Amino acid sequence: MTMMHLAALQLALSDNMEANIAAVSALVREAAGQGAKVILPPELFEGHYFCQHQDEANFARAAPVAEHKAVRAMQALAAALKVYIPCSFYERDGQHYYNSLAMIDDAGALMGVYRKTHIPDGPGYCEKFYFRPGNTGFKVWETRYGTIGVGICWDQWYPETARAMMLMGADVLMFPTAIGDEPANEALDTSRLWRRAMIGHAVSNVVPVVAANRIGAEVVGGTTQSYYGHSFITDERGDFLAEFGDGVSGVLTAEIDLERVRKHRATFGFFRDRRPDLYGRLVADI
């Protein structure tokens, strides 16, 4: 099979896990009803993006993958609808805490867990307080429809993330996200930069890209942060197949002919002409 029908979800989220699971589940059902087989919710959809501030009470939000309510709900839904769901969640593994993604197959089984590699730290995005850097390495997942690579939010800014997953065999790149205001610089709107970074991955790797972000204003620790949406799906040339602006809840879908994408990728020659013998500087931390 060469066709892959993809979906991205965009919505506002409360700080009630059960309500968020219900809202995401409704959009997953809508996407499946439109024919989507791989459906991407936003990052940490289980609640408000709590990383605005450092608060030790928030560690209680985490749970092991086998016990996490959002993961278990998406497993049941994936099995019922026969779809794949990359499910972002706050993971506790012993004494360690991660910003993780559970890859769920179309029978509801857990294919594995990816732990976010790049952990940001700054005003409004205090993730280093809450999350240990991921120890899984990058991952790709073979589905019935093709192979998908999934990074998480800050991962999406790094060309190394995209290229690593492509070299591992990805046919499509997906990025669940929680991004909006930049409290350190109120004049900076990163929504354009955010999209351009991932469009660059699409072009330089000749690969479709799917990004799912949240919307709405969330009050955490007495301050308000707004999330700008702009979720999208591009083709392998970086052209939008489907996109939302800010403030829109719903489902984006697109169907990709992977055979066409592979032909275009081979024609461009980006992977043929790589010179890894000259790239040692890229992995030298000096």
Residues 45-65 have pLDDT tens digits of: 999 999 999 999 999 999 999
d(CA 227, CA 213): 8
User: Does the annotation count 43 as an active-site position?
Assistant: yes
Task: Check if the beta carbon of residue 230 is closer than 8 Å to that of residue 245.
Answer: yes
pTM of the complete model: 0.96
User: Does the annotation count 51 as an active-site position?
Assistant: no
User: Does the annotation count 116 as an active-site position?
Assistant: yes
Average of pLDDT values for 135-157?
98
Residue 186 has pLDDT above 80, yes or no: no
**What CATH code would you report for 3-283?**
3.60.110.10
Render pLDDT for 238-279 as a digit per residue (tens, 0 to 9): 999 999 999 999 999 999 999 999 999 999 999 999 999 999
Handedness of CA 36, 175, 88, 103 (dihedral sign): positive
Residue 6 has, within 13 A of its CA and on its CB side, a CA count of 34
Catalytic residue among 37, 51, 116, 127: 116
Residue 99 has pLDDT above 70, yes or no: yes
Catalytic residue among 91, 153, 218, 236: 153
Average of pLDDT values for 147-162?
98
Catalytic residue among 37, 43, 51, 236: 43
